[in-house]
A = this chain, B = another copy of it.
Amino acid sequence: MAPRQPGDEVREPPEGLGTDMINFRSDNNASVDAPILEALIAEASKRDDAYGRDEVTAKLDEEWSAVFETAVHVIPVLSGTAANAISVAAVTPSYGTLLCHRQAHIVEAEVNAAGFFQPGLAISSFEGAHGKISASALQAALENSPWKSWNRSQPAALSVTQATELGSVYEPAELSELTDIARRYELCVHMDGARLANAIAHLGCTPAAATWRCGVDILSLGASKNGCMLGEAIVVFREQYIPRVRYKAKQSGQVAAKLRFVSAQLRAYCRGGRWLRSASRANAAAERLARGLAAIDRVQVATPPQANIVLATLPREVIDALRAGGFTFNDWDRNGTVRLVTSFDTSEEDIATLIQAVRTLVGRSVA
């Protein structure tokens, strides 16, 4: 089973790009936001109880409940994969099907963690422009499902990524349309909010309006992409899920001994709306980048970014030269489209340098 011929790894350039590179590859590659680091430093000299029984963790629910304007329970975990897998396992029985977009992270980059956390769970994915599930596709899929068959997996849950893996953002009305359909068929709704902050920053609505008021039952809330150091969160909107989520977190090794250090980050992340401000910065950087690139001949930016991801199409030789010149980013497809991700710490200088480099390289390349 060990492959002889490496395939064409579209999104994963060779390893070891190091720290001299200018990072447009992922918001996971960013630094740590100052208030987050400060919170860790402040906690580091203290002693307190382990496994979440500490004073820092004790305030987590209260603070995030205020943010979401409803009682929530927050379970800190290490990774988005864990947040997603534990969440979908909580709302999908072993004979259930999880519905999601073909390009969902859950499908593409989690080594089927969902199927590991809930053995037997099936995933049914479908198309949708811009990474967004269309209501008609969902409706059709649910109408045509083998309901009441004892021989077929039963649709049980819907997972929507907000903002999507392509960086597009659902309007609350679009989300509600999807969740209304889901509910009609008694599906639970999970939101992969790895970049939820970026979506909310774009929409300018409240966190409540972006999640549970749109019918979301359980949320993977991204933090490490947006300034945290180590940690993400599961936000549970429905009390009945809490035991199974908490126990699965423990059983899967997601409850750190010194959990308070993850909680401390999540509270600093929340404090004063830091998470939304960091996301706004990243979004603004993406917007500037997109505008600058779109103005260059032979460069296409098909849609203006709604979050912190820019998909730009460049001549192949420009792509290669940019990499040789120290910029890191992933290919999006084999037709010259690249994915540029901005982070809370992407500087104006980084943006300007990239735009200038593209301009120069395009100028040099054969038309």
Main secondary structure of the interface of A (DSSP, over half): loop
Residues of B within 8 A of A16 (CB): 49, 53, 55, 58
Interface flags for A231-264 (1: CB within 8 Å of B; 0: not) read: 1000000000001101110111111111001100
| Protomer copies | 4
Q: Is the CB of B247 within 8 A of A150?
A: yes
Residues of B within 8 A of A248 (CB): 94-95
Residues of B within 8 A of A252 (CB): 82, 85, 113, 116-117, 252-253
Contacts A112-B251, A253-B252 known; A143 to B7 CB distance under 8 Å?
yes
A23 within 8 A of B: yes
Q: How far is the CA of A7 from the CA of B149 in the complex (A)?
A: 10
Q: Is the CB of A31 within 8 A of B3?
A: no
Residue of B nearest to A47 (CB): B23
Q: How far is the CA of A224 from the CA of B248 in the complex (A)?
A: 21
A367 within 8 A of B: no
Residues of B within 8 A of A25 (CB): 49
Q: Is the CB of A7 within 8 A of B50?
A: no
Q: How far is the CA of A246 from the CA of B88 in the complex (A)?
A: 22
A9 within 8 A of B: yes
Q: Is the CB of B154 within 8 A of A257?
A: no
A282 within 8 A of B: no
Q: How far is the CA of A53 from the CA of B156 in the complex (A)?
A: 24
Contact partner of A78 (CB less than 8 A), chosen from B109, B151, B256, B328, is B256
Q: Is the CB of B47 within 8 A of A29?
A: yes
Residues of B within 8 A of A48 (CB): 17-19, 29
Contacts A31-B45, A95-B247, A122-B112 known; A50 to B37 CB distance under 8 Å?
no
Q: Is the CB of B46 within 8 A of A258?
A: no
Contact partner of A45 (CB less than 8 A), chosen from B4, B32, B153, is B32
Interface flags for A1-36 (1: CB within 8 Å of B; 0: not) read: 111111111001001111101010110111110000
Residues of B within 8 A of A37 (CB): 40-41, 44
A83 within 8 A of B: yes
Q: How far is the CA of A166 from the CA of B154 in the complex (A)?
A: 24
Residue of B nearest to A14 (CB): B53
Contact partner of A345 (CB less than 8 A), chosen from B47, B85, B153, B188, is B47
Q: Is the CB of A53 within 8 A of B15?
A: yes
Q: Is the CB of A3 within 8 A of B185?
A: yes
Q: How far is the CA of A54 from the CA of B142 in the complex (A)?
A: 28
Contacts A40-B229, A150-B51, A186-B4 known; A28 to B108 CB distance under 8 Å?
no
Q: Could you list some 8 contacts between A and B, CB below 8 A?
A: A1-B93, A32-B258, A37-B44, A93-B247, A112-B122, A116-B252, A119-B120, A150-B246
